[in-house]
């Protein structure tokens, strides 16, 4: 098989150059989440990028929790994040790492930098430090404590560590300069005092290193070659490099920070804060609500790890800001599910059909149905048929619109894998609603094959009424009605919530085999979409989540027809009005 030649993204290009030049013998990446929330699909881009890059070039990937802020981080998140990464199918190198594993080393490095005369303890308040940092266009002011002696700094830093000062009373700052055009370089804070319990180190420490003084050194300690992060850290790279300049030793790998554009998806929000808001105010049922773009939400919705990987591959990696069409994600999902998932017939919105010429009391009849036309190995199953059936309410129209080739009075259609049936009439209740449809069947068309070569346009899915299993279906629509809910000035993203993002249908009818399905099992309901068993499902109450619908060009056409009709109606009204006006004008003129 000829290997398809695929162009490399810019990170792969850098990697290949580093390997070719001998700069690195082997590459080593890392995924460094802060354990302060749940992972979302944006993180999955980063996870896949890091793990797949290493896999491609026979390297390794670490999992490291960036836990330098004790007040925000919890064990619960360490667990959920690890689980999500495993679900995606990745194995990190060695044990899970924690930045907190390096607190002692970082402390010693801080002392070393003080001794070099490149760090000082600052007694200014947070407000003073902010005020003297200056503006992007104006340089800041030097701290009055900036020129303390090495001995004094060393002593004060040790006292900070020993808990002699209250939270926020002192900080350790790097002595770089106050006039850099890059705000991150204006004597950045390396350590702050925080009397708070850490999820791993407990009360061992009351000083905690800042991100900038932690990340690069953690990469260095783990001998990471390529430290991949998102674009907003671009302005931090000079500082990342500055600390490594002070600490890097000859012969050791010096990690390189590379930034890429984070993922943005249309019709959703991705920020932790906003997602948390939806959870807290009850808009969704939790972090794993199937409408959430979290990995746990996508998992519960029925997404496959494979579909997330092909999606990540399709969107590519670059440095320009992007908004990816949610349709591309859905395409990747359908593409994967189509190949893997077995078909079954389920009537989501049922209406009763009676086959009037089907022999009364005929013994049970079973028909053979293909499990997956895309996969020969999936085999077949037997589906029960009887005199009374359910079909989809939307598959019948008493007065059909143009090009409707489903069931309507006098028309013949195929019941998939069963028989040709012809509608002979309907029964209605007092308010005129159709309660059942009467049909005749052609016994010669068993299996759905035309006996005499005659063709039907429509093939419908159906379920035998006496054999039907009642199931609950939870259908999800996009959470927001706007393609960029958080992209509007002066408007809250919640203003764009879709009020109909969840609809629960408790009366769907499925063929008997669905009774065998277990949590997270996936099925295609023929002609409807892909569904999976929810974790709240029980034997008595089987619950399916709708993962994604099938592409539906008919629905689109119906929309178009409706639109066109509306437009034509408006046009007609306008014409009538202008004619009327004309006539009146003429009358006036005559007078």
* Footprint on residues 32-71 left by RNA (CB under 7 A): 32, 34, 66, 68-69
Q: Contacts with RNA in 154-183 (CB under 7 A)? A: 167-171, 181-183
Q: Contacts with RNA in 236-255 (CB under 7 A)? A: 236
> Which of these segments, 206-214, 296-304, 430-438, 562-570, binds RNA (CB under 7 A)?
206-214
3-state secondary structure of 413: strand
Is there a contact between 188 and 182 (Cβ–Cβ < 8 Å)?
Answer: no
For RNA (CB under 7 A), the number of binding residues is 90
Q: Which value, to the nearest 10 degrees, does the dihedral of the CA atoms of residues 378, 384, 387, 393 take? A: -50
Q: Which of 45, 161, 291, 334 binds RNA (CB under 7 A)?
A: 334
> Which of these segments, 83-91, 190-198, 421-429, 582-590, binds RNA (CB under 7 A)?
190-198
Catalytic residue among 72, 83, 141, 262: 262
Site track 64-103 with RNA (rule: CB under 7 A), x = hit: --x-xx--x-------------------------------
DSSP letters, 442-493, are: EGGGGGG--TTS---S-EE-EEEGGG-EEEEEEEE--SBSSS-TT-STTS-G
- Verify whether residue 34 is a known catalytic residue: yes
Least gap, CB of 233 to RNA (angstroms): 6
Q: Contacts with RNA in 402-441 (CB under 7 A)? A: 403-406, 414, 416-417
Decide whether 232 or 398 has the Cβ nearer to RNA: 232
Decide whether 60 or 192 has the Cβ nearer to RNA: 192
> Which of these segments, 7-15, 145-153, 430-438, 535-543, binds RNA (CB under 7 A)?
7-15
Decide whether 289 or 309 has the Cβ nearer to RNA: 309
> Which of these segments, 277-285, 315-323, 421-429, 536-544, binds RNA (CB under 7 A)?
315-323
Q: Which of 322, 356, 503, 577 binds RNA (CB under 7 A)?
A: 322
Q: Does 208 bind RNA (CB under 7 A)?
A: yes
Q: Which of 235, 356, 470, 503 binds RNA (CB under 7 A)?
A: 235
Q: Encoding tokens for residue 92?
A: 């990190």
Q: What beta strand segments (E) does 108-252 contain?
A: 119-122, 171-174, 189-193, 207-209, 226-230
Is there a contact between 412 and 422 (Cβ–Cβ < 8 Å)?
Answer: yes
Decide whether 46 or 284 has the Cβ nearer to RNA: 46
- Rounded Cα gap, residues 542 and 540, in angstroms: 6
Site track 289-308 with RNA (rule: CB under 7 A), x = hit: --------------------
- Rounded Cα gap, residues 336 and 343, in angstroms: 14
Q: What beta strand segments (E) does 127-273 contain?
A: 171-174, 189-193, 207-209, 226-230, 256-260
Q: Does 141 bind RNA (CB under 7 A)?
A: no
Q: Which of 325, 500, 568, 579 binds RNA (CB under 7 A)?
A: 325
> How many residues does this entry show for the chain?
591
Least gap, CB of 123 to RNA (angstroms): 8
Angle between helices 103-115 and 150-161 (to 10 degrees): 160
Q: Encoding tokens for residue 488?
A: 């509007």
Q: Which of 144, 163, 177, 447 binds RNA (CB under 7 A)?
A: 447
Q: Does 550 bind RNA (CB under 7 A)?
A: yes
Residue 214 falls in which region: left (phi positive, over 0), alpha (psi -120 to 50) or beta: alpha
> Which of these segments, 44-52, 226-234, 297-305, 377-385, binds RNA (CB under 7 A)?
226-234
Neighbour tally for 116: CB within 10 Å: 11
Q: Does 554 bind RNA (CB under 7 A)?
A: yes
> Which of these segments, 128-136, 219-227, 349-357, 494-502, binds RNA (CB under 7 A)?
128-136
Site track 483-522 with RNA (rule: CB under 7 A), x = hit: ----------------------------------------
- Verify whether residue 52 is a known catalytic residue: no
Q: Which of 1, 3, 7, 377 binds RNA (CB under 7 A)?
A: 7
Q: Which of 9, 285, 386, 498 binds RNA (CB under 7 A)?
A: 9
Q: Does 453 bind RNA (CB under 7 A)?
A: no
Which residue, among 394, 404, 405, 402, has the nearest Cα to 437 in the 3D structure?
394
Catalytic residue among 272, 340, 393, 422: 272
Least gap, CB of 556 to RNA (angstroms): 6
Least gap, CB of 580 to RNA (angstroms): 36
Q: What are residue 28's phi and psi, to 5 degrees?
A: -140, 120
Least gap, CB of 143 to RNA (angstroms): 11
- Rounded Cα gap, residues 537 and 517, in angstroms: 10
Q: Does 129 bind RNA (CB under 7 A)?
A: yes
Q: Contacts with RNA in 252-281 (CB under 7 A)? A: 261
Least gap, CB of 423 to RNA (angstroms): 14
- Rounded Cα gap, residues 70 and 210, in angstroms: 11
Beta carbons within 8 Å of 415's beta carbon, 6+ residues apart: 389, 391, 421, 448, 459, 460, 461, 462
Decide whether 91 or 368 has the Cβ nearer to RNA: 368
- Rounded Cα gap, residues 472 and 494, in angstroms: 28
- Rounded Cα gap, residues 159 and 137, in angstroms: 36
Is there a contact between 487 and 359 (Cβ–Cβ < 8 Å)?
Answer: no
Decide whether 189 or 270 has the Cβ nearer to RNA: 189
Decide whether 68 or 225 has the Cβ nearer to RNA: 68
Q: Which of 81, 176, 210, 298 binds RNA (CB under 7 A)?
A: 210
Catalytic residue among 12, 16, 34, 436: 34
- Rounded Cα gap, residues 440 and 424, in angstroms: 7
Helices and strands in the chain, H and E counts: 13, 25
Decide whether 284 or 485 has the Cβ nearer to RNA: 485
Q: Does 556 bind RNA (CB under 7 A)?
A: yes
3-state secondary structure of 374: coil
Q: Does 382 bind RNA (CB under 7 A)?
A: no
- Rounded Cα gap, residues 74 and 175, in angstroms: 33
Q: Encoding tokens for residue 458?
A: 């429509």
Which residue, among 540, 542, 494, 501, has the nearest Cα to 518 in the 3D structure?
542
Distance of CA 570 to the CA centre of its chain: 41
Residues annotated as catalytic are 34, 262, 272
């Amino acid at each position: 098989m000829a290997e398809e030649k695929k162009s490399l993204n810019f990170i792969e290009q850098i990697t290949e150059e580093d390997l070719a030049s001998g700069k690195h013998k082997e590459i080593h990446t890392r995924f460094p989440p802060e354990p302060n929330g749940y992972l979302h699909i944006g993180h999955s881009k980063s996870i896949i990028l890091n793990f797949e890059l290493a896999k491609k070039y026979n390297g390794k990937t670490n999992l490291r929790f960036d836990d330098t802020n004790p007040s925000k981080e919890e064990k619960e998140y360490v667990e959920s994040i690890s689980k999500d990464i495993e679900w995606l199918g990745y194995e990190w190198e060695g044990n899970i790492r924690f930045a907190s594993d390096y607190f002692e080393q970082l402390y010693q490095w801080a002392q070393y930098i003080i001794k070099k005369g490149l760090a000082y303890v600052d007694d200014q308040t947070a407000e003073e430090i902010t005020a003297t940092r200056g503006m992007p266009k104006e340089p800041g002011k030097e701290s009055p404590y900036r020129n303390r002696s090495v001995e004094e700094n060393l002593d004060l830093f040790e006292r900070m560590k020993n808990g002699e000062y209250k939270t926020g009373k002192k900080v350790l700052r790097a002595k770089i300069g106050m006039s850099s055009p890059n705000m991150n370089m204006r004597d950045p804070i390396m350590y702050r005092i925080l009397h708070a319990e850490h999820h791993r180190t407990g009360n061992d420490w009351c000083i905690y290193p800042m991100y900038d003084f932690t990340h690069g050194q953690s990469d260095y300690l783990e001998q990471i070659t390529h430290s991949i992060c998102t674009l907003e850290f671009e302005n931090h790279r000079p500082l990342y490099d500055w600390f490594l300049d002070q600490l890097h030793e000859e012969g050791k790998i010096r990690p390189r920070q590379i930034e890429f554009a984070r993922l943005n998806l249309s019709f959703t929000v991705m920020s932790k804060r906003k997602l948390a808001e939806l959870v807290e105010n009850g808009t969704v049922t939790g972090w794993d609500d199937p409408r959430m773009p979290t990995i746990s939400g996508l998992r519960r919705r029925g997404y496959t790890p494979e579909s997330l990987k092909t999606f990540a591959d399709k969107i590519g990696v670059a440095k320009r800001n992007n908004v990816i069409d949610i349709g591309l994600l859905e395409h990747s999902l359908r593409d994967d599910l189509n190949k893997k998932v077995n078909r079954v017939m389920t009537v989501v919105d049922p209406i009763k059909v009676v086959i009037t010429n089907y022999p009364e009391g005929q013994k049970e009849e079973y028909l053979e149905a293909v499990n997956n036309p895309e996969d020969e190995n999936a085999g077949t199953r037997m589906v029960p048929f009887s005199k009374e059936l359910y079909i989809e309410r939307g598959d019948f129209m008493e007065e059909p619109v143009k090009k409707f080739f489903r069931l309507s009075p006098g028309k013949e259609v195929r019941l998939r894998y069963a028989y040709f049936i012809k509608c002979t009439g309907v029964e209605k209740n007092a308010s005129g609603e159709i309660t059942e449809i009467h049909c005749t069947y052609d016994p010669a068309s068993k299996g759905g094959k035309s006996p005499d070569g005659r063709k039907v346009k429509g093939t419908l899915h159906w379920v035998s009424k006496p054999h039907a299993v009642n199931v609950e279906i939870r259908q999800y629509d996009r959470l927001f009605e706007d393609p960029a809910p958080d992209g509007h000035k002066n408007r809250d993203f919640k203003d764009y919530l879709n009020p109909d993002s969840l609809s629960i249908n408790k009366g769907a009818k499925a063929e008997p085999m669905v009774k065998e399905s277990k949590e997270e099992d996936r099925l295609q309901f023929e002609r409807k979409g892909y569904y999976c068993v929810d974790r709240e499902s029980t034997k008595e109450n089987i619950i399916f989540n709708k993962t994604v619908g099938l592409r539906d060009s008919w629905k689109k056409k119906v929309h178009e027809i409706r639109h066109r009709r509306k437009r034509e109606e408006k046009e007609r009204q306008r014409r009538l009005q202008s004619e009327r006006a004309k006539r009146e004008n003429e009358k006036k003129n005559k007078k």
